[in-house]
Chain A
Amino acid sequence: MPRPEPKTITFTIDGLEVQAPENVMLVDAAKHGDVEIPVFCYEPKLGNPVGACRMCLVEIEGIGKLQTGCSTPVKDGMVVHTQTERVKIAQQAVVEFLLINHPLDCPVCDKGGECPLQDITFGWGPGHSRFIEPKRHFVKPLELSPTIAIDRERCILCYRCARFSQEISEDHQLVLLERGAHSYISTFDGHPYVAPFSGNIVELCPVGALTSLPYRFRARPWDVEDAGSVCTLCPSQCNVTLTVRDDRVLRVLARQNDEVDDGWLCDRGRFAYPALGGDERITEPLIRDGGELRPVSWERALEAAASGLKRAGERTGAIAGGQATGEEGFLLARLLREGLGSPHLDSRRAGTLPLELHRALSDPALQAKISDLEFAHSVLVLDADPIEDMPILDLRLRKGVRRHDMKLLEASSEDLPALRELALSLGQHGEDVVILWHERLTAGPNGPAATQALLEIAASLSMSEVPGAGLLEIPAGSNGRGLREAGVLPNAGPGLCELDDAPGRDARGIAEALIAGELAALYLLQSDPLEELPERDLWEQALERASTVVAHASFLTDGLRAHADVVFPSEAYAEKEGTVVHPDGRLQRLRPAVARPGKFGSTLAGWQVLAKVASRLDLDLGVLTGSMASQQLFDAVPFYAGLTLEEIGGRGVRWQERETAVTS
């Protein structure tokens, strides 16, 4: 679908000639001239402006009435005034109106200090009120859901939250009831507002009417620091800002990146994090002693791990979980291949994929990016359930359907003839076709044929030639793509390069070999096979039989509690340093926002543990800092060549879009 190509125009605002893209709304155009027009209801993320709050009134020469800057597209030659007496009076009037029923309980309001209503009152308000009647009073705060409190006194009826529910998440649970000055935000008949993305309304609210219950009274804006990072709880890898106080993450906010998350977060990403700081965290190394895992010194744990691995030698297998960074995966692969001489490592859940298929699927020309989903003529969701597999895409797909008339289709690869049939009609709405598929398509006996079919369909639609078309895979693990590219595969090295030696066993093969006694040790990098991998029974036996199980983990899950011999505490994403790769090939950077757990932050980082274990196996990995690990990774993967952490920065870099992008 053709995407809007902005033309630059010149208009005049407050006497200043300013260039701006044509047809953007005046409030946005004004920013090009450093002029701020105050807004409450305007939020471009929510779709078309509604012009409800009337805060953004400006004067436009040639038009009698004041106009709402939020809904007036800028045109060449327009002459706009935001500082005239008329505009000032109107702005002051709107602020006065909004405050007549606002309780002004800022001292006890969580929004205080980061409140648009405070800021706009200060910047554009009249400074006093002539309203002397009693204000409205409600019982407050009330629970709107288990995580959100509503304070109806503070609500200024900007409609943002209801618009989110209607037009973005389309759950239609949060609405306005009643009419006029009686209007209030509510759900139906006392039902809670529970929906996968409900927490976004807290961030949308421009006053303290919707607040986060977990964050309630936890901090003031001046007590906290913001730290940008990336949520790695699922493959969406939404960009986040972490609110940190006293070295603890108290809150997770969206950090808008249109190419990743469009500025939204799912409730898991938003509300699960603070739980990660809970008492359950593993903060010290543990080793099994008399059947029980007991805390020991780092020295003893490293020693125990190394000696177990040394005993097993090439009879060691390794599994990396989706939370691991590319650097950790890369170092793990070196540890296995170079330190132990074992080729048996995997990061995929779906079993080995022949290397040529793997490479064909990763062809840069075939890769769709996230924004392609929105502008595609049609999207086929294949073997995937976005809300489960990569929640934030649910919103992106809805946006495509709602705003760009994208056709959304669903299919399963179980019935390949039917899929091929459907594929024939895929192009009928337009050539920009994106197929969003899940790693599970490649699994099982049907996997190779399904993969082959997918590639054929892509070829039949000439996806590699059409810029807006392509394939987008949702890997099972959050950083599934990054780990594969780092070489955590039984049949490929870094950058999907061919191995000199024979390929190793995949995850299932490792389990079978452990049971058969062909493998003896297992290295689990942030993975508990009982939780994450299919065939629990198989893994139950495999873990039982393994002579040494070394794990990096944040929590003691069942499999580890019963079977691990050595457990190293691993970092949560907010403590981590390194890179992950988004499903569309965007390298994103994790930056530690808080210290690692343990006394005085004594816990070692994942890469450090790997390096120390390696050195006890007489392998010098050559990493003394996290960024050295990144450098090694960038040097090893051909299509990352020349990349630096600075280049990745806060927004990430899609390697396919870099100069050095080459088909491996």
Chain B
Amino acid sequence: MTPVPRYAHGSRVPGWDTPADLDKDPATIPGRGGSPSVPVPAELRAEIEASMALYPNSHSATLPALQAAQRLHGWCSPEAIEQVACVMGLTPADLAAVATFYDMLETEPVGRHSVYVCTNISCSLSGADALLAAVQEAVSEAADGASEFNVRAFECLGACDIAPMASVDGVYVGPLSLADVPALLDDIRAGRPVLPEKQLAKRACADVEANR
């Protein structure tokens, strides 16, 4: 009998169903108390150390540090986490606990460009579910889909005024129609600004007429 998954989509992180590997050493702080250090790229180290210096307690730098490691590695891989742990003097487990808590930190390998499609209430009232399906379909049919795109349904991105919308590598675009999908993906592939006319940055707000 196949086990009934807790949720249809299961967990984002592998690990619930696997035992610890008893041949591994305990994961203590790399480079401290006799446990082996890990090599850290110099730029990453410098970036993390700069973040640590900003706070009264350097522990506060876990998010900026993990974000930096993710930019470098593409995701918070075990290797990335160990590097952050080594620089920050924390155990990798403490960082994994943080990394798995936040939606924007990826704990599995993903495509290069993130496309967060908001599917929360306001966007879905404006057709976000169909939009997400269209983007997912276009990406799944593309040969470069898995490597180039990380398409995710996202909770409210704070741009319900341009619903339905998406955040492409942090750039907000909307309102999107199904017809925008091919151009959206093409712009991403080409490294152009995505859908310039639909970027939130362009939008005025103060007067009634400015809003659609």
Any chain B CB within 8 A of the CB of A599? no
CB < 8 Å neighbour of B93 from A144, A152, A179, A188: A188
B22–A177 touching, CB < 8 Å? no
B4–A190 touching, CB < 8 Å? no
Any chain A CB within 8 A of the CB of B55? no
Q: A166 CA to B21 CA in the complex, in Å?
A: 22
Q: A145 CA to B20 CA in the complex, in Å?
A: 7
Any chain B CB within 8 A of the CB of A227? no
Chain A 129-149 per-residue mask, 1 if CB under 8 angstroms from chain B, else 0: 000001111110011111000
Q: A36 CA to B4 CA in the complex, in Å?
A: 38
Chain B 86-97 per-residue mask, 1 if CB under 8 angstroms from chain A, else 0: 000011111111
| Complex interface: chain B residues within 8 A of A179 (CB) | 100-101
| Complex interface: chain B residues within 8 A of A421 (CB) | none
Nearest CB in chain A to that of B85: its residue = A188
Any chain A CB within 8 A of the CB of B191? no
Q: Considering the complex, which residues of chain B in the window 18-73 have a beta carbon less than 8 Å from any beta carbon of chain A? A: 18-22, 24-29
A190–B18 touching, CB < 8 Å? yes
A142–B20 touching, CB < 8 Å? yes
CB < 8 Å neighbour of A178 from B26, B78, B81, B100: B100
| Complex interface: chain B residues within 8 A of A175 (CB) | 93-94, 96-97
Q: Considering the complex, which residues of chain A in the window 74-122 have a beta carbon less than 8 Å from any beta carbon of chain B? A: 101
B91–A171 touching, CB < 8 Å? yes
Q: A117 CA to B22 CA in the complex, in Å?
A: 30
Any chain B CB within 8 A of the CB of A220? no
B17–A138 touching, CB < 8 Å? yes
Any chain B CB within 8 A of the CB of A172? yes
**Category for how many chain A residues contact B:** 35 or more
Any chain B CB within 8 A of the CB of A608? no
B21–A137 touching, CB < 8 Å? no
Any chain B CB within 8 A of the CB of A189? yes
A171–B3 touching, CB < 8 Å? no
B18–A189 touching, CB < 8 Å? no
CB < 8 Å neighbour of A192 from B7, B12, B22, B95: B22
Q: A187 CA to B91 CA in the complex, in Å?
A: 10
Nearest CB in chain B to that of A173: its residue = B93
B17–A173 touching, CB < 8 Å? no
**What is the minimal beta-carbon distance from A150 to any residue of chain B, in angstroms?**
8
Q: A188 CA to B15 CA in the complex, in Å?
A: 9
Main secondary structure on B side of the interface with A: loop
Evaluate whether A191 and B17 lie within 8 angstroms (CB atoms) in the complex, with A136-B6, A172-B94, A182-B11 already known: no
CB < 8 Å neighbour of B27 from A137, A143, A146, A189: A189
| Complex interface: chain A residues within 8 A of B22 (CB) | 143, 145-146, 192
A177–B13 touching, CB < 8 Å? yes
| Complex interface: chain B residues within 8 A of A139 (CB) | 3, 17-18
Q: A178 CA to B14 CA in the complex, in Å?
A: 11
Q: A192 CA to B28 CA in the complex, in Å?
A: 11
Any chain B CB within 8 A of the CB of A184? yes
B96–A177 touching, CB < 8 Å? yes
Any chain B CB within 8 A of the CB of A539? no
The interface centre, meaning the residue of A187, A189, A192 with most chain B CB atoms within 10 A of its CB, is: A189
A137–B93 touching, CB < 8 Å? no
**What is the minimal beta-carbon distance from A502 to any residue of chain B, in angstroms?**
48
Q: Considering the complex, which residues of chain A in the window 167-215 have a beta carbon less than 8 Å from any beta carbon of chain B? A: 171-179, 181-182, 184, 186-195
| Complex interface: chain B residues within 8 A of A195 (CB) | 26
Q: A195 CA to B7 CA in the complex, in Å?
A: 33
Q: Could you give 25 example pairs across A and B, Cβ below 8 Å?
A: A137-B3, A139-B3, A142-B17, A142-B19, A142-B20, A143-B19, A152-B16, A166-B94, A171-B26, A173-B91, A174-B93, A175-B93, A175-B94, A178-B12, A184-B15, A186-B16, A188-B81, A189-B15, A189-B27, A190-B15, A192-B20, A192-B21, A192-B22, A193-B26, A194-B26
Q: Which residues of B contact A (CB under 8 A)?
A: 3-7, 11-13, 15-22, 24-29, 78, 81, 90-97, 100-101
In the A-B complex, the 9 residue pairs with the smallest Cβ-Cβ separation, listed nearest first, are: A136-B6, A175-B97, A191-B27, A142-B19, A194-B26, A172-B91, A188-B93, A192-B20, A188-B92
Q: A178-B11, A191-B25, A194-B25 are in contact. List 11 more A-B contacts (CB 8 A).
A: A134-B4, A138-B6, A139-B3, A171-B28, A178-B13, A188-B91, A191-B20, A191-B21, A191-B24, A192-B21, A192-B22
